[in-house]
């Protein structure tokens, strides 16, 4: 059975096509600048990488190009080979605690939750509708970023603001990166050989969050009502005093939306370093003696450590600490700096084992109080696996 995972952004479309009999990725690709002049795509298959410029005025055209290339490149012989499509959807509100088959009523809910995720859900909807138009008889599923976190206790997801805002507007913590956490927590249980684990998973990349997981279920997570909350990120501020919003509005003559845009797009590593939102560039700045780059990295590390420490106490100790996503998988120096600050908890890594990038590795020191792993995430495969379970 072949299943395609689709992740549609506002001006992009990412896909992976899997043969589910052995869970192998047949092809993957990224269509960029959808709806913007200068569009192009990259498709990888059989060790090859095909890149082509093509104008894609909307997601419908992007999907048409994708399906045409799957056939013309010989990746599949017919569209009939695609048995199902799983779509990444950013926000499922408090209604969806698991992936679901897409129906008209599900689409209505996704549209309703677009109010909470205006940057993400509308793009996800555009992707779903474009694929539905091209493959009208193929079953499709919605896999929600927020679903994994619906096991949080109310104490952890409620905000200490007037309760009627929660009742009237569903203002609460939702958490994100749930598909990644689902995949990594299952992989961790598989590695260790048991699922009754207390773990802290660090999904740290350009966007990042931390999650406390007990027995495979979310206990708490750092992102909140939106992906802006939590740790320092590439361009996001993470936790800040909300009153700063009105100060910047008054001083800079900005409205609330413009200030939130600053917090989302001009803050984090980029805002502190003044160099880049890419951790690698900022680390290079540290090596060159750039003090602002050092401040940015130190602040980033501190924010990650603070959440690990909080969740360590909340879980009453842990069995495993896991690093995943771009920086987590490929940043041995960041991992080392984070774990160094956890020495008082007895968590330690082996420096030689830690010298690894993008590979599933046990980097635990012999005298560590908890296991420490690097586990590459695979959100696309998790989407495909959820889809397979549903369409079966």
By DSSP bridging, strand 82-89 and strand 140-144 are parallel
User: Choosing from 145, 229, 378, 386, which is the catalytic residue?
Assistant: 145
Rounded Cα distance, 41 and 37, in Å: 13
**Bridge-partner residues for 51, per DSSP?**
42
145 is catalytic: yes
Strand order in the sheet with 208-214: 217-221, 208-214, 198-204, 320-324, 371-374, 361-362
Containing H/E element for 375? none
Residue 280: alpha-carbon gap to chain centroid: 19
Q: Which of 221, 241, 219 is nearest to 231 (CA)?
A: 221
107: how many CB neighbours lie within 10 A of its CB? 15
Give me the sign of the Cα torsion angle 353, 204, 324, 331.
negative
Residue 10 φ then ψ, to 5°:
-60, -30
- The burial class, CB within 10 Å (0-12 / 13-18 / 19+), for 374 is buried
Distance CA 335, CA 220 (A): 21
Angle made by CA atoms 121, 102, 32, in degrees to the nearest 5: 45
Question: Nearest Cα to 123, choosing from 156, 149, 145, 139?
Answer: 145
Residues annotated as catalytic (active site), given as ranges: 145
């Amino acid at each position: 059975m072949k299943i395609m995972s689709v992740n549609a952004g506002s001006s992009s479309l990412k896909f992976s096509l899997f043969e589910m009999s052995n869970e192998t990725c047949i092809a993957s690709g990224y269509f960029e600048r959808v709806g913007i002049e200068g569009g192009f795509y990259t498709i990888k298959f059989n060790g090859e990488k095909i890149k082509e410029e093509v104008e894609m005025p909307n997601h419908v055209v992007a999907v048409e190009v994708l399906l045409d290339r799957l056939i013309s490149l010989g990746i599949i012989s017919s569209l009939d080979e695609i048995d199902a499509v799983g779509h990444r959807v950013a926000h499922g509100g408090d209604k969806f605690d698991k992936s679901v088959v897409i129906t008209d009523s599900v689409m209505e809910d996704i549209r309703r939750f677009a109010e909470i995720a205006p940057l993400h859900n509308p793009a996800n909807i555009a992707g779903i509708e474009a694929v539905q138009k091209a493959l009208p008889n193929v079953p499709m599923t919605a896999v929600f970023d927020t679903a994994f976190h619906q096991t949080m206790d109310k104490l952890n997801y409620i905000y200490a603001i007037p309760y009627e805002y929660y009742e009237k507007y569903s203002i609460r913590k939702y958490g994100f990166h749930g598909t990644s956490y689902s995949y990594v927590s299952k992989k961790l249980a598989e590695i260790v050989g048991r699922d009754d684990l207390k773990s802290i998973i660090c999904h740290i990349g350009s966007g990042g969050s931390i999650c406390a997981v007990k027995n495979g279920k979310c206990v708490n997570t750092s992102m909140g009502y939106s992906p802006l909350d939590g740790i320092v990120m590439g361009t996001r501020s993470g936790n800040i005093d909300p009153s700063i919003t009105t100060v910047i509005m008054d001083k800079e003559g900005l409205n609330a939306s413009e200030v939130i845009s600053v917090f989302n797009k001009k803050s984090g590593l980029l805002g502190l370093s003044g160099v880049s939102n890419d951790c690698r560039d900022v680390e290079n700045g540290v090596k060159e003696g750039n003090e602002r780059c050092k401040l940015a990295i130190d602040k980033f590390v501190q924010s990650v450590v603070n959440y690990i420490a909080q969740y360590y106490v909340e879980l009453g100790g842990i069995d495993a600490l896991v690093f995943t996503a771009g920086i987590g998988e490929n940043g041995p120096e960041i991992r080392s700096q984070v774990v160094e600050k956890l020495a008082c908890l007895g968590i330690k890594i082996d420096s030689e084992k830690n010298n690894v990038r993008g590979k599933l590795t046990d980097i635990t020191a012999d005298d560590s109080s908890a296991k420490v792993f690097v586990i590459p995430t695979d959100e696309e495969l998790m989407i495909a696996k959820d889809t397979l379970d549903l369409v079966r």
